Every structure is written in structure tokens, then in C-alpha cells.
């Protein structure tokens, strides 16, 4: 199974739909299980979006030549952020970060560029009257320092 062909077929339908969809990841297992993860610049990926992309890929591959299983899904709110457009979509949102050294932190995704990310972290400090005060501190991390980033889902 050729990943380039899968990418081309999926992207062809995404372009035709013109709904702000983008491909987060495409993987193909040794047993020809094709997984396509989609996200959307604004809002969520609908079932109809997944079906449309799935049909375009499936109808343009020949099962007579190679048998395959195809799964097209949303990247999911609980999945790690991996694509630049996902970082843009989540600017200003609370993110949990697992650093490469095992340390974890939570903060607001403030900025990102090709080298790394900036987060606003709230800390409690004692003021001159010995009372706790919340302050924001900006933390900068290189991409190489981050193992995983996820949105923090809050129902408040």
C-alpha cells in the first residue's frame, strides 16, 4: 500500500469539501490497516467529513490488487497535539505537557514557532503581606524537550 496515494486521495476530497479539514496523520500497518486522522481548523470533524474522505480513498483503491482495512477518524480531543494547525487552533487554551525528562506541567499555550513553544504558567507566591498571590510566568520549551502535548478538557 502506497502512503503517497492514500495521502493524495484523502487530500483530494478534503480540498473538494473546503471545510477547513486537515490530515493529522496517516499510518499503514504491515497487514494493510490504513488509519487516517483528521482535524479541523475551527470546530470538530463531523461523521460526514470522515465518511466522505473514506469513500474517496476506498473507491479509488483496488481491493483486487491488495486487500485493506480503512479507518478514518477525528484526531480526538484527548489525543496528543501533533500538527501545526492543531497548535494554532489551541492557542490560548490550557495544555498539559509531558517533557522528555518525565516532568509534566500545565499552562496556557501562548506561542509557538519552528523551534518550540511558550506557555503561561500560573504560580502561587507569597506577597509582602505573606498572602498567596497568583502570578503568570512564561515558560519556553524547545520541541526536543517535549514528549507530548494534550488539551486539557474542562467542563466548567
Q: Which CATH architecture has domain 3-74?
A: 2-Layer Sandwich (3.30)
Residue 60: its pLDDT value, please? 95
Distance (Å, whole) CA 39 – CA 104: 25
Three cell numbers, residue 68: 485493506
Distance (Å, whole) CA 146 – CA 101: 8
- Domain parsing of the chain, residue ranges: 3-74, 84-151
- Whether the per-residue pLDDT at 128 is higher than 90: the answer is no
Segment 60-88 mean pLDDT: 93
Burial 54-68, CB ≥16 within 10 A → b, else e = bebbeeebeeeeeeb
Mean pLDDT of the chain: 94
The helix or strand, by DSSP H or E, that contains position 84, with its residue range, turns out to be helix 84-89
CATH topology of domain 84-151: SH3 type barrels. (2.30.30)
Helices (H), 1-46: 3-17
- Whether the per-residue pLDDT at 78 is higher than 90: the answer is no
pTM for the full predicted model: 0.85
Longest CA–CA span in the chain (Å) reads 77
- Whether the per-residue pLDDT at 129 is higher than 90: the answer is no
Amino acid at each position: 500500500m502506497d502512503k503517497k496515494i492514500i495521502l493524495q486521495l484523502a487530500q483530494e476530497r478534503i480540498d473538494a469539501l473546503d471545510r477547513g479539514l486537515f490530515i493529522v496523520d496517516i499510518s499503514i500497518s504491515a497487514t494493510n490497516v490504513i488509519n487516517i486522522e483528521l482535524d479541523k481548523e475551527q470546530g470538530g470533524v463531523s461523521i460526514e467529513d470522515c465518511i466522505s474522505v473514506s469513500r474517496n480513498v476506498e473507491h479509488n483503491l483496488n481491493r483486487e490488487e491488495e486487500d485493506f482495512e480503512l479507518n478514518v477518524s477525528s484526531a480526538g480531543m484527548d489525543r496528543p497535539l501533533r500538527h501545526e494547525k492543531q497548535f494554532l487552533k489551541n492557542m490560548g487554551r490550557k495544555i498539559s505537557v509531558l517533557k522528555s525528562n518525565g516532568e509534566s506541567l500545565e499552562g496556557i499555550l501562548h506561542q509557538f514557532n519552528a523551534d518550540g513553544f511558550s506557555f503561561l504558567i500560573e504560580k502561587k507566591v507569597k506577597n509582602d503581606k505573606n498572602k498567596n498571590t497568583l502570578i503568570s510566568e512564561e515558560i519556553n520549551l524547545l520541541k526536543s524537550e517535549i514528549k507530548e502535548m494534550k488539551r486539557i478538557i474542562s467542563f466548567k
